[in-house]
Amino acid sequence: MNYLVLILVSLVSIYFLFIKNQDRKKKINSKIPGPKGFLFGNLIELARTKKNLHLKYLEWFEKYGPVFRVSIGSLETVVLTGYPILREAFIDNSDTFTSRFQRENARSINGYKGLINSNGDYHKNLKSVILSEMTATKIKKMESHINQESKRLCELLDQHAKQGTPFTMNKYLNLFSINIILRFLFGVNYPYTELDDGSSSIIQVIQQFLKLVSQPSITTYFPILSPFMNDRSKEFYDIHKLLSNHIINLIERYKDSKQHQQQEQEPIDGATEPTVTILDKLLIEVENNRITQNALISICIDVLIAGTDTVGQTLSFAIVALVNNAEIQEKLSRNIIDSMEKGDNHYSYSKYRNGIPYLALVVKEVFRMYPAGILGLPHMTSEDCEIQGHKIAKGTQIIQNIYSTHRSESFWPNPNNFIPERHIQNDVSKSVHFAVGTRNCMGMSLSEAEVHTAMAELFGNFKFTNPSNIPLNDQGTFSVALNCPDFFVKIERRN
């Protein structure tokens, strides 16, 4: 009898806590235009286009306008497109739209104590810690590491230039990005030989985790099922455990190195000055009981994932775009070479960021055409609100439709053509590459420094050509970031 009472109480609780709340959200959101959903809302239609989800949202934006509603299973979702709408929501009404939408399956991973999916005062504290290491002064100190990694990449490319045979660059650019984040976090980096050694090194594990973390889950779209099932695959948990163990080892290695550094007053891993990383600040938070050891691991994973795929994919798309537009590549190369002072063998971001005008235009166009965070990270309304006359219910998932904001003729003429000169007017309000609002990309200063430096070194030193008569494919696929297809290029050294 007690079991029957327990089941009855559970069912009643589920009804009032979830089903009735969902009915309320649907009723309030019902006046918002959007595609009609049948069984499971629009889930089946979206599932059919999962690798081109961003293109489906562009299609719906063109049909339904800058504010449209999508039902993904039982998940009420509103998609916002265009800077004016995004500004109204995430800047003018930031208190209502700031919260991150928390997926049920993330609870079992970190209890919402990571950097990406936490909310409230806890997240504000984490953000202040991270941003304290993202100041202009701190980024300038990171320049030597970025330059060192760029030099290592160019040395590797020199070998391919001598061989004169086509090769794929994606993996090198991803490791370039991974190494800078690993240096930023732990003061370490890894050789490019680890890309092909078949081991379970952290490089391999990060790449496997990136593939798995973007896979959809049933409980995201049907949260009511979360108490009864865990739909993450065994492979996901195995890879997550492997990655966590790597992070733990790196933390312990860093602490040991730091202790040795303090005793011997020597830099870590051959650095030119005593190494200070973001991990120092996070360890203080652990010591002061503001975050747990498990949360520290999750935060490190979040920083790795957020900073790795985005820059690597952006650089891949940059090369594809400039191979497909050879005249722009030549103009960029000349501008880089002509702008560098005599005797400067390597690019300095702090010195040249405003001194190579065409490089700045090309970077902006790469960011526009190939935004890494194509739909951003989902938010959730904390109260009922109204945007552009549309009432949106509390608890609704909100998507920043970054890709459509950058690729629609409503905002850009000839949006699918690579035209750096369009940014001469410097209308930055049209571009939302790093998302909009108080929870935009915390690492955008570091990302910009990485992209500018890598592109200056790559296109200042090498000429990239297409070994085929068919233009390189620049149609990215939907994942954690907009994924660039693998591509082959030939390179030669510029004099």
- The rounded distance, in Å, linking the Cα atoms of 386 and 381 is 11
| Under 8 Å between Cβ of 231 and 217 | yes
Taking every pair of Cα atoms in the chain, the longest distance, rounded to a whole number of angstroms, is 87
DSSP string, 111-138: TT-SSSS--HHHHHHHHHHHHTTSSHHH
Residue 289 gets which letter from DSSP?
Answer: T
Segments of the chain scoring below 70 in pLDDT = 1-21, 105, 194-200, 216-233, 262-276, 426-429
CA distances, 263 to each of 260, 323, 367 (Å): 5, 51, 45
Output phi, psi for 489, to 5 deg.
Answer: -135, 160
Cα 338–chain centre separation: 33
What's the pTM? 0.89
- Cα(90)–Cα(72) distance, rounded to whole angstroms? 22
The region that residue 376 occupies, defined by phi over 0 for left and psi between -120 and 50 for alpha, beta otherwise, is left
Q: Which helix (H) or strand (E) element contains residue 385?
A: strand 385-387
- Binding site members for heme: 441
Q: What is the pLDDT of residue 232?
A: 62
Task: Enter the tokens of residue 137.
Answer: 């002064």
Residues with Cβ < 8 Å from 191, sequence gap 6 or more?
A: none
Structure tokens, 463: 């000429």
At what angle are helices 444-461 and 293-324 packed, to 10 degrees?
Answer: 40
Give residue 428's pLDDT: 64
The amino acid that residue 443 corresponds to is G
> Looking at residue 306, what is its pLDDT?
86
State how far the Cα of 188 lies from the Cα of 108, in Å rounded to an integer.
29
| C-alpha radius of gyration, the chain, whole number | 24
Instruction: Specify which residues 69 forms β-bridges with.
Output: 78
Domains and CATH numbers, the chain: 31-493 (1.10.630.10)
CB within 8 Å of 254: residues ≥ 6 apart: 186, 187, 188, 268, 277, 279
Tokens of 141: 């100190």
Q: What 3-state DSSP class applies to 72?
A: strand
Cα 326 versus chain centre, distance: 28
What pLDDT score was predicted for residue 62?
A: 97
Cβ-based neighbours of 420, under 8 Å, separated by 6 or more: 328, 358, 361, 362, 364, 365
**Which tokens hold the place of 349?**
């971001």
What's the pLDDT score for residue 223?
A: 63
pLDDT, residue 137, reads: 86
Q: Which positions make up the binding site?
A: 441
- DSSP three-state, residue 251: helix
Q: Smallest Cα–Cα separation from 54: which of 374, 377, 366, 373?
A: 374
d(CA 432, CA 422): 15
